[in-house]
Structure 1
Amino acid sequence: MHFVLPADVGDPASPSGGNVYDLRVAGDLRRLTVAGDWPCPSDVTALEQTLAGIPDGDVVLVDGLVGCGVPEVLIPHARRLKLAVLVHLPLADETGLSPEVAAVLDQKERQVLRAASAVIATSPTAARTIKSRHGLSDVHVVVPGVDPAPLAAGTDGVSELLCVASITPRKGHDLLIRALQKIDYEWRLVCAGPIRPFVETLPRDDRVSFPGPLVGEALTRAYDAADLFVLASRNETYGMVVTEALARGLPVIASSVPDALGDGGLLVPADDENALVAALTRWFQDQELRAELRARAGARRAILSTWDESTEDLRRVLATLRP
């Protein structure tokens, strides 16, 4: 079985939930990476050649970022291959797209997913959205796993906040910083993640730091020093950083991550600055709420899925495509 991936998978300078997911579930699948400005590449030669080199009837898993925007490439091969498409985020849901571009991407994605032998989403919420949007009868769900981790030590139990996410409009750093600036408390916020041009539009504040993408021990230290994990995303399909925080027993306040968060924290409405201000104000002022969120995180920590379970779930889906 084969797995067609973006070429930047594994690049420490470009960590993302989708890339981590791909690497962790790939296992013994034959990885085929293709370069391109996905999902709208200027040249599809590499992808065309990669798919053409796969024998008829083989099972092929394609990352949706690579495949969903190029139906002219995927659909002909879907007729001779057992094609499965893994959707991390529906293409049209990326923040900042014009309505015209979003509509075109949505149409292209629909064509690809309807031609596929199987469609896989990374959360129940995403699966329901994809089924409804594209008129599909069945979408498989394979949620991300998480590595067990020791409990975070924290700082003073209140003031050290951590957000792990690429600095893009969809992740809502602008909402988060504006909300915190309205709160009279001595807080600090670390925004760890790839720094994109969007960072230049964010409110300036000496209490906010942008260390760039953190991996390995540096990321572990950031989690360990945090008192609260915050994520103000406008849209997510799952939110792996949330389960990584919960695996360390960190309290969480977040939006757009119902499947990752479960009952493990406080979920606020997406793109609602006032609701975020209210939730964060309660965190700083209400000791009972802080204790409750720590307890919720601990309970959720005990039942999180592992990456071995996720890999096995994916294998079961792909196995149904074999002759």
Structure 2
Amino acid sequence: MSTDVHFVVPSGIDDPARPSGGNVYDRRLAAELARLGRLVLLHRVGAADRGALARLLAGLPRGATVLVDGLIGSVAGDELAAESERLRLAVLLHMPLGQAEPDTAAGEARALGAARVTIAASRWTRQWVLAHYGLERSRVAVALPGTDPGPLAVGGPSGRELLCVAAVTPGKGHATLVAALAAIADLDWRCTCVGALDLDPEHVRRLRVALEEAGLGDRVDLLGPLVGDRLERVRTQADLVVSASRHEAFGMALAEGVARGLPVVATDVGGTPEALGCGSATASPGLLVPPDDPAALAAGLRRWLTDSNLRGRLRSAAARRRDTLATWQDTAQQVAAALDAASR
């Protein structure tokens, strides 16, 4: 059985202006699969360029193992179905498109049905596609995102430094976050937002207006995308990771924060509880609130900022949780096992 893997990834996978969780996952997975002895052949394709995908697949040798990023594969049901007998197809599904965009569900179900295996990036994603797409349970595997080790955050006594790591788009809930921050303007805090600012310029403009109208222009920084050491420096200065996301398959930015001992206040959506370790033997390192509810998010942040005992408990829980997070080697081993099973 060949261990070669043709990995079809978005064309912008290496773009520092697009440090998305999916791109990070793909890059780290490719590197770790290579360390496991797999020959990984990367093929970069535009997410909407179905013609390029069709030409690529048609040119691969019969029996090749092909792993297609879900950003590309979920919208290419016809192209995958046309090659499903000739190639050993797998789809790496970071987030089910049909969950956030119901109009895409039928096409995504066809795409995943054409694959020998769907590799979901969270247990929540696996359960969602099984419930909605009628796939066989044996054909949907899970490979949780890994985390990189980092120094344990010390945190200031007041917990005032808030950090949000997410592209500034409507789906990530920044409007809810701004409204929540306005409701706790009487408290001492600062919020740093890290993430792409050019995906929806009009949304960013409206956020900036809302910040100025709320008198928060000097307390909330929209820094744009940061990677590597620059992002690490921002994390070392943070006390709390906050997320107001409306849809989240896992929450890699939350897990990366917890990996440094940072507690979390986040919306209870998708796989976010999974990222925090809710339901495990240890206490959760964060507070979960309903999505699209500025008052609930404000209440969670107010609890964090005003209750020193709560801050201590959540920091201790985060320090314990960081030792139980998956590594990228774990991720690669899970993906490799799923690909091997699909190749038999």
Instruction: Return the TM-score normalized by structure 1.
Output: 0.93
Once the two structures are superposed, residues 60-90 of structure 1 have per-residue CA deviations (whole angstroms, 9 ceiling, x without a partner) of 1111110111212111011211111111111
Report the 3-state secondary structure (helix = DSSP H, G, I; strand = E; otherwise coil) of the residue aligned with 1:321: helix
Q: 1:21 aligns with which of 5, 20, 25?
A: 25
Give the superposition deviation at 1:50.
1.0
User: Which residue of 2 is the match for residue 44 of structure 1?
Assistant: 50
Report the 3-state secondary structure (helix = DSSP H, G, I; strand = E; otherwise coil) of the residue aligned with 1:13: coil
User: Which residue of 2 is the match for residue 297 of structure 1?
Assistant: 318
Contact kept, 8 Å, 2:255 with 2:276, in 1: the verdict is: yes
Looking at structure 2, the residues matched to 7 and 234 of structure 1 have their Cα atoms a distance apart, in angstroms, of 26
Report the 3-state secondary structure (helix = DSSP H, G, I; strand = E; otherwise coil) of the residue aligned with 1:140: strand
Aligned length: 311
Give the superposition deviation at 1:322.
2.2
Pairwise CA RMSD: 1.3
Give the superposition deviation at 1:45.
2.4
User: Which residue of 1 is the match for residue 229 of structure 2?
Assistant: 217
Q: 2:85 aligns with which of 67, 79, 86?
A: 79
Matched, 1:185 2:200: no
User: Which residue of 2 is the match for residue 132 of structure 1?
Assistant: 131
Could you tell me which amino acid in structure 2 is paired with residue 314 of structure 1? V
User: Which residue of 1 is the match for residue 97 of structure 2?
Assistant: 91
Structure 1 window deviating more from structure 2 (154-163 vs 53-62): it is 154-163
Report the 3-state secondary structure (helix = DSSP H, G, I; strand = E; otherwise coil) of the residue aligned with 2:231: helix
Could you tell me which amino acid in structure 2 is paired with residue 8 of structure 1? G
Report the 3-state secondary structure (helix = DSSP H, G, I; strand = E; otherwise coil) of the residue aligned with 1:4: strand
Contact kept, 8 Å, 2:14 with 2:23, in 1: the verdict is: yes
User: Which residue of 2 is the match for residue 174 of structure 1?
Assistant: 175
Report the 3-state secondary structure (helix = DSSP H, G, I; strand = E; otherwise coil) of the residue aligned with 2:241: strand
Looking at structure 2, the residues matched to 6 and 217 of structure 1 have their Cα atoms a distance apart, in angstroms, of 24
User: Which residue of 2 is the match for residue 7 of structure 1?
Assistant: 11
Once the two structures are superposed, residues 262-287 of structure 1 have per-residue CA deviations (whole angstroms, 9 ceiling, x without a partner) of 12211222222221111111111111
Contact kept, 8 Å, 2:77 with 2:112, in 1: the verdict is: no
Q: 1:201 aligns with which of 195, 198, 206?
A: 206
Matched, 1:258 2:273: yes
Report the 3-state secondary structure (helix = DSSP H, G, I; strand = E; otherwise coil) of the residue aligned with 2:196: coil
Structure 1 window deviating more from structure 2 (234-243 vs 151-160): it is 151-160
Give the superposition deviation at 1:199.
1.1
Give the superposition deviation at 1:157.
4.0
Looking at structure 2, the residues matched to 210 and 154 of structure 1 have their Cα atoms a distance apart, in angstroms, of 21
Looking at structure 2, the residues matched to 264 and 144 of structure 1 have their Cα atoms a distance apart, in angstroms, of 18
Looking at structure 2, the residues matched to 32 and 264 of structure 1 have their Cα atoms a distance apart, in angstroms, of 38
Give the superposition deviation at 1:155.
4.4
State percent identity of aligned pairs. 45
Q: 2:41 aligns with which of 26, 30, 35?
A: 30
Looking at structure 1, the residues matched to 156 and 233 of structure 2 have their Cα atoms a distance apart, in angstroms, of 12
Report the 3-state secondary structure (helix = DSSP H, G, I; strand = E; otherwise coil) of the residue aligned with 1:144: coil
Instruction: Return the TM-score normalized by structure 2.
Output: 0.87
Report the 3-state secondary structure (helix = DSSP H, G, I; strand = E; otherwise coil) of the residue aligned with 1:31: strand
Report the 3-state secondary structure (helix = DSSP H, G, I; strand = E; otherwise coil) of the residue aligned with 1:181: helix
User: Which residue of 2 is the match for residue 114 of structure 1?
Assistant: 113
Could you tell me which amino acid in structure 2 is paired with residue 243 of structure 1? A
Residues 228-243 of structure 1 correspond to what in structure 2 (within 5 A)?
A: 228-243=240-255
Contact kept, 8 Å, 2:9 with 2:43, in 1: the verdict is: yes
Contact kept, 8 Å, 2:266 with 2:288, in 1: the verdict is: yes
User: Which residue of 1 is the match for residue 297 of structure 2?
Assistant: 276
Structure 1 window deviating more from structure 2 (183-192 vs 85-94): it is 85-94
Looking at structure 2, the residues matched to 127 and 239 of structure 1 have their Cα atoms a distance apart, in angstroms, of 15
Give the superposition deviation at 1:156.
4.8
Matched, 1:285 2:290: no
Looking at structure 1, the residues matched to 78 and 334 of structure 2 have their Cα atoms a distance apart, in angstroms, of 30
List gaps (5 residues or longer) in structure 2: 35-39, 278-283
Contact kept, 8 Å, 2:183 with 2:295, in 1: the verdict is: no
